Structure 1
Amino acid sequence: MKISTANINELLTIWAAKNITEGFEANASIFENANEMLATIDAIEDGDAPWESFTLRYTGPVDDTTPAWKRTDYTVYTRNSLTVMQNMLASEDFVNSFDYAPYEEYTAKNKRTWSNLMSGDWAWKQADKIAKDPRTHGSMLCPVILGADKTTVSVATGNNEFHPVYISCGNIHNTMRRAHRDAVVPIAFLAIPKTCREHDDTDEFRLFRKQLYHASLAHILEPLRDAMTTPKLMRCPDRHLRRVVFEVGPFIADYPEQVMLAGIVQGWCPKCLARADHLEDPRPRRSRELDEILHDTYNPAILWHTWGVVADVVPFTENFPRADIHELLTPDLLHQMIKGTFKDHLVSWIEEYVSLTNTPSEAKRIMDVIDRRIAVVPSFPGLRRFPEGRNFKQWTGNDSKALMKVFIPAITGHVPDDMVKCISAFMDFCYIARCSSHDSDSLHSMETSLSTFHQYRTIFEVEGVRPDGFSLPRQHALAHYVRSIRLFGSPNGLCSSITESKHITAVKEPWRRSSKNNALCQILVTNTRMSKLAAIRVRFGAQGMLKHDVLTAARIAAGLEDPPEEDDMGTSNAETSHDDEDDSQACAEARAESYVSLGMRPAYTCTAEDLSQELGIQDLPEHLRRFIWDQSYPDPYLTSEDIPHDSLPRLQTRLSVFHSASAVFYAPSELSGPGGMHREIIRSTPCWRNGPPRYDTVLVQNNPEFDDMRGMLIARVKRFISFTHEKTRIPCAIVEWFVPVGNTPDPVTGMWIVKPELKRGQRTTGIIHVDCIMYSSLSM
């Protein structure tokens, strides 16, 4: 599906030619041509949810002088939402990542955790409503998660806009929505009304766009309406049939989309009654019931100016039972925290402060220093570097995430301490919010960090950067995060980054492969085929047909290779040559303890004496002998330091030297697989990309009872090595140690400051087993 018809035909011709030369002329190729292959895909019944269209138009009076937008038919393309949800529920791909009922999870006495949607208070509350209704009592709750976001596919011109709507099943775990699986699928493409400049800013046209938007969403979800009050018998991932009741669930959207959805005035909060010019003031929450009272009580002018409500907009949720759009809007980590509060606000404010408090030439010099600090940040797994600093035009979410990791050290010393503390508090809030699971402690930490952020951000007002205060909708939204987590679980499974990443496979890549003429219809066909291929792959996998790649299957069939053990299936790629450019990637393994492994093949082998000369560590052979003793005879009361040199075991084999190792650990807030596992490459090489050496720093487990750095140590890996002793392979690392400066983190940045550990003016070195390494640690 990702190559052209001409390339497919060429591959089929090569395949046919190969079979003919091998005497299989009667069955020259599996397909005659690309058209036959595509017809075969179209005939797949699994995952079939055909696209259909409906048309909406302006229903007011029209005459010869009426603007064109009132006389235009607006076409919306949609799938049957009931069919799509039925296909998703029946997918065995989610059998181990599916909750059949709401639940409350506790890890300790009175310490509840919130993670997936069904662990939240909202699912529990809605299930109670279903249980109290005799018509739906005993049915399975199935929340319908929705997401909508405009996207532009033509970067050069910006004229090709699409407005896809996505749908997901709330019973599916967050990790599956983040793992590029078919847990989030396009359900519709909304019409985008256009008009001339004369009418574009008129109240009438803006109102029409909002009404068209809500009418379209109501029509898209109409097939599910009956199933919200009358249970439908449906197959679930475990192959059992259950009576299912659907529920309009959380809606993923950025702030402009939230304004449309909630039917409020731009600048107001869609979740509470805080006024647009006083968003810092806490106010009561909005609700469906309150909206009805307001509409019945006040005229349009009072609704607009006093309550921030658009009078003639009725949210689509009014068409469905038990749905409250104000409650259902989810936190948006990407646009509210990362792109909004951090990049658009804090980073810009820092630059404005430098400009306000210095001469133009001095301000430029300071910003150049900050840029140079950012530019010299060492390579780090998954970190997007800025060789020229942060002064470029096209910013992505990943750029902002990368800048967040290095911004505090870059500005320290050039701005007041209170500004650094403000950003540090915000970072604490941000990274806690991105966790995959929360408990009462983490939510309390979020509230504390947000309060600290609000306390220190007044420095920007005092210094004249924000003289008008902080009535900023995206910053104000942070105040609703803790309650939303209690309602819907972790925000990282309900974030607009999920829908934006889905734009790539659902919109942008199909558009690039289209002829660009009537591209939307071609995009729909591509999405249908991709859905069918994904569904059939799940069925084939469940039947054991996709356990191996083609070559492995052929070798097993020919008796040239034994089938791998079942336990090895998930870790067959755990050890790689680590040549990939991207050192940070998702890992498809199930959740497990973290581990570090060396590559399959060493870069070279050498003796301990040769490596000693190469690294300039004269006593390396003795270090190795003492390390072997400690590994062979673990005794806290008798270490290798107590053993005479002549009694230490001798190394009888050559050393295998590796330039990298793979660390796999649980980090669902990063790029991760369905089990939340993340893989990164730790490098230790004398020449990185034909340039200088690269020696990554790592976190090393020490004693968890120590208070310093929570029982962790920092080390820089000089070499990864392995050797065999008494028929046992021992993988280890030669490291240089760092020690913390002080017993607590720096009071301004909140970060630990470390320095090289020296002994008689020389760096102290050691040898550690790779099992002691947790993962990489960025030092700058």
Structure 2
Amino acid sequence: MAEIFIKDASYFKLQDSWYLSLIPIECGIGECTTDTLGKSSLHPIYVSLGNIPTWRRNKEDAKQLLGYLPILSAKNEKKKKSSEFKELARETFHNFIKFLLDPLFQGDGVDFNIDDKDIWFFLRISTIICDWPEACTFSLIYKSANSNYPCHFCLVQREDLIDIRKEVILRNHVNMKEYFDSNTSKLAGLEQVNNYFWSILNLNIYAATVPDRMHHLDLGLFKYQIEFTMELLKKKKSLNKVNERIADIPRHSQLKVFKKGIQLSRLTANEYRDMMKIMVFVVDDLQIEDLSEVYVKWNKMYLLSRSEKFKESDLENFQVKIIIWDIRKVDIHKYRAWNRVPISHPDIRMTLKSDIRMNPDDFLKIFFHPISPGFIRFGV
């Protein structure tokens, strides 16, 4: 990690003339398979530098493995489902995280000699990239989507998640600790377990925990769009024609070949990205108005989301692209369904649901909302 820091020192901006700066640390956690049969898995936790370009941070040597999360075993299934065992698992997780991360904050920082200058750095956790279940574990909120407060970064009741006119109360270590200290954690959908991250200064674990872009876009929204397309094609009796077009695409060294057509259950994130490249052409000229335009708008929105940096104008443009992409689906989706609108903003929530039988003008009035440049953070 130190070698990477020195090589990429040009990306670090010193904060003042005293050569004192911060090193933002990104933590990542996820599940990985450890055998060829896919029956065994572990949960590694790693760290990387937060203020180097994404392309550099994505390289293997830019990440440092800290360890694997401990997995508790129970005597039987009844014991495993007991509240005592679940509470012990949560306490073990946070004790282990404390064991791993405490050394990063001990002492008076670290010194690096860069360009013949001694620079004093302090380490701070900036982002934790994980899936929703892991985010619930970090923030110690109920994992059930049916809980009264299922969102890990705001206190909005489940039935109000679709109402963007409601005032949003964001979670932070102050209001969550008040529930914990008064033994009323259930009122906030919070586990009655002490959260290690409450002890870390200048860190709001509820805002720092963000979804991996791969899972949110590649494996989430685009997968939903493909399912949406397949359902529409079945009604139009055009699905076989689309599968034939996909199978006829010639081989290319940098493109996955789908000789058997669309098989969603077997697709990986990389294969979804390959599908993004071809679907805009595959669905063209199917006598389904605006379907290819939906994929054009999606690709533009997706490419913008992969930008290294965002200006205020970029975020406004991104917001417009989200709306136009969804309106295209409103125009072509004539039957009753639920439509998900991806907006990463605490005032709107990660996923909004709205009955799509509305005209585009009403959609704009309801869903257009500025995005804060400080909130968006994409994963690796």
Within-5 A mapping of 1:101-112: 101=14
Describe the superposition over 1:347-401 as per-residue Cα deviations: whole angstroms up to 9, x where unpaired.
123223444x36xxx4xxx222111222223445622221222226432111010
Tell me by how many angstroms 1:151 deviates. 0.8
State the partner residue of 1:147: 28
Tell me by how many angstroms 1:171 deviates. 3.8
Maintained 8 Å contact 2:56/2:62: yes
Maintained 8 Å contact 2:20/2:119: yes
Maintained 8 Å contact 1:339/1:397: yes
One-letter amino acid of the structure 1 residue matched with residue 244 of structure 2: R
State the partner residue of 1:260: 137
Tell me by how many angstroms 1:201 deviates. 4.0
- Number of equivalent positions: 352
Q: Cα RMSD (Å) of the superposition?
A: 3.5
Structure 2 vs 1, CA of residues 173 and 354 (structure 1 numbering), >3 Å: closer, same or farther? Answer: closer
User: Of 152, 171, 177, which residue of structure 2 is paired with 1:270?
Assistant: 152
Describe the superposition over 1:210-238 as per-residue Cα deviations: whole angstroms up to 9, x where unpaired.
332222111211112334xxx33422454
Structure 2 vs 1, CA of residues 176 and 470 (structure 1 numbering), >3 Å: closer, same or farther? Answer: closer
Asked whether 1:486 is paired with 2:374, we answer: yes
State the partner residue of 2:298: 426
Describe the superposition over 1:153-204 as per-residue Cα deviations: whole angstroms up to 9, x where unpaired.
2242x33211111011224333321233x22110111112244433444444
Tell me by how many angstroms 1:89 deviates. 3.2
Q: Secondary structure at the match of 2:93?
A: helix
State the partner residue of 2:231: 352
Q: Secondary structure at the match of 1:168?
A: strand
Maintained 8 Å contact 1:419/1:459: no
**In 1, Cα distance between equivalents of 2:271 and 2:288:** 25
State the partner residue of 2:359: none
Tell me by how many angstroms 1:429 deviates. 2.0
**In 2, Cα distance between equivalents of 1:197 and 1:330:** 32
Structure 2 vs 1, CA of residues 419 and 199 (structure 1 numbering), >3 Å: closer, same or farther? Answer: farther
Q: Secondary structure at the match of 2:70?
A: coil
**In 2, Cα distance between equivalents of 1:473 and 1:440:** 15
**In 2, Cα distance between equivalents of 1:213 and 1:238:** 40
Structure 2 vs 1, CA of residues 208 and 349 (structure 1 numbering), >3 Å: closer, same or farther? Answer: farther
Structure 2 vs 1, CA of residues 225 and 332 (structure 1 numbering), >3 Å: closer, same or farther? Answer: same
**In 2, Cα distance between equivalents of 1:295 and 1:271:** 16
State the partner residue of 1:437: 309
One-letter amino acid of the structure 1 residue matched with residue 136 of structure 2: V
Asked whether 1:241 is paired with 2:134, we answer: no
**In 2, Cα distance between equivalents of 1:244 and 1:168:** 15
User: Of 85, 99, 103, which residue of structure 2 is paired with 1:223?
Assistant: 103
State the partner residue of 1:119: none
**In 2, Cα distance between equivalents of 1:203 and 1:419:** 49
Asked whether 1:477 is paired with 2:350, we answer: yes
User: TM-score by structure 2 length?
Assistant: 0.78
Maintained 8 Å contact 1:331/1:477: no
User: Of 447, 453, 463, which residue of structure 1 is paired with 2:335?
Assistant: 463
Structure 2 vs 1, CA of residues 225 and 207 (structure 1 numbering), >3 Å: closer, same or farther? Answer: same
**In 2, Cα distance between equivalents of 1:187 and 1:177:** 16
Describe the superposition over 1:104-139 as per-residue Cα deviations: whole angstroms up to 9, x where unpaired.
xxxxxxxxxxxxxxxxxxxxxxx9xxx9xxxxx863
Within-5 A mapping of 1:73-222: 88-89=1-2, 91=4, 94-101=7-14, 139-156=20-37, 158-180=38-60, 182-195=61-74, 196-222=76-102
Maintained 8 Å contact 1:273/1:286: yes
Over the matched positions of the two proteins, sequence identity in percent amounts to: 18
State the partner residue of 2:271: 399
**In 2, Cα distance between equivalents of 1:461 and 1:399:** 25
**In 1, Cα distance between equivalents of 2:28 and 2:157:** 26
**In 2, Cα distance between equivalents of 1:462 and 1:476:** 26
Within-5 A mapping of 1:662-701: none
Maintained 8 Å contact 1:279/1:471: no
Maintained 8 Å contact 2:180/2:192: no
Maintained 8 Å contact 1:331/1:481: no
5+ residue gaps in structure 2?
A: 353-368
Q: Secondary structure at the match of 1:166?
A: strand
Q: Secondary structure at the match of 1:417?
A: coil
User: Of 187, 209, 218, which residue of structure 2 is paired with 1:338?
Assistant: 218
Within-5 A mapping of 1:229-628: 231-238=108-115, 240-266=117-143, 267=145, 268-282=150-164, 283-296=168-181, 299-304=184-189, 310-343=190-223, 345-355=224-234, 357=235, 362=237, 366-380=238-252, 382-391=254-263, 393-412=265-284, 414=286, 416-417=288-289, 421-458=293-330, 463-466=335-338, 470=340, 477=350, 482-483=371-372, 486=374, 491=378, 494-495=379-380
Structure 2 vs 1, CA of residues 332 and 277 (structure 1 numbering), >3 Å: closer, same or farther? Answer: farther
Q: Secondary structure at the match of 1:250?
A: strand
Task: Please say which structure displays the higher CA radius of gyration.
Answer: 1
Maintained 8 Å contact 2:280/2:295: yes
One-letter amino acid of the structure 2 residue matched with residue 166 of structure 1: Y
Maintained 8 Å contact 1:144/1:250: yes
Q: Secondary structure at the match of 2:257?
A: coil
One-letter amino acid of the structure 1 residue matched with residue 45 of structure 2: V
Tell me by how many angstroms 1:339 deviates. 0.5
One-letter amino acid of the structure 2 residue matched with residue 486 of structure 1: G
State the partner residue of 1:524: none
Structure 2 vs 1, CA of residues 436 and 91 (structure 1 numbering), >3 Å: closer, same or farther? Answer: closer
State the partner residue of 1:115: none
**In 2, Cα distance between equivalents of 1:90 and 1:237:** 11
Tell me by how many angstroms 1:463 deviates. 1.7
**In 2, Cα distance between equivalents of 1:464 and 1:398:** 31
Tell me by how many angstroms 1:406 deviates. 1.5
Tell me by how many angstroms 1:424 deviates. 4.1
Maintained 8 Å contact 1:280/1:470: no
Maintained 8 Å contact 2:279/2:295: no
**In 1, Cα distance between equivalents of 2:332 and 2:32:** 34
**In 2, Cα distance between equivalents of 1:270 and 1:429:** 26
Tell me by how many angstroms 1:340 deviates. 0.7
Q: Secondary structure at the match of 1:383?
A: coil
Tell me by how many angstroms 1:439 deviates. 2.5
**In 2, Cα distance between equivalents of 1:397 and 1:274:** 31
One-letter amino acid of the structure 2 residue matched with residue 142 of structure 1: I
Maintained 8 Å contact 1:259/1:265: yes
Describe the superposition over 1:70-122 as per-residue Cα deviations: whole angstroms up to 9, x where unpaired.
xxxxxxxxxxxxxxxxxx235575245540435xxxxxxxxxxxxxxxxxxxx
**In 2, Cα distance between equivalents of 1:470 and 1:144:** 32
Maintained 8 Å contact 1:261/1:325: yes
Maintained 8 Å contact 1:92/1:237: no
Tell me by how many angstroms 1:253 deviates. 1.0
Describe the superposition over 1:433-466 as per-residue Cα deviations: whole angstroms up to 9, x where unpaired.
0122333332111111122344445569852443
Describe the superposition over 1:612-671 as per-residue Cα deviations: whole angstroms up to 9, x where unpaired.
xxxxxxxxxxxxxxxxxxxxxxxxxxxxxxxxxxxxxxxxxxxxxxxxxxxxxxxxxxxx
One-letter amino acid of the structure 2 residue matched with residue 94 of structure 1: K
Structure 2 vs 1, CA of residues 303 and 473 (structure 1 numbering), >3 Å: closer, same or farther? Answer: farther
Tell me by how many angstroms 1:287 deviates. 2.3
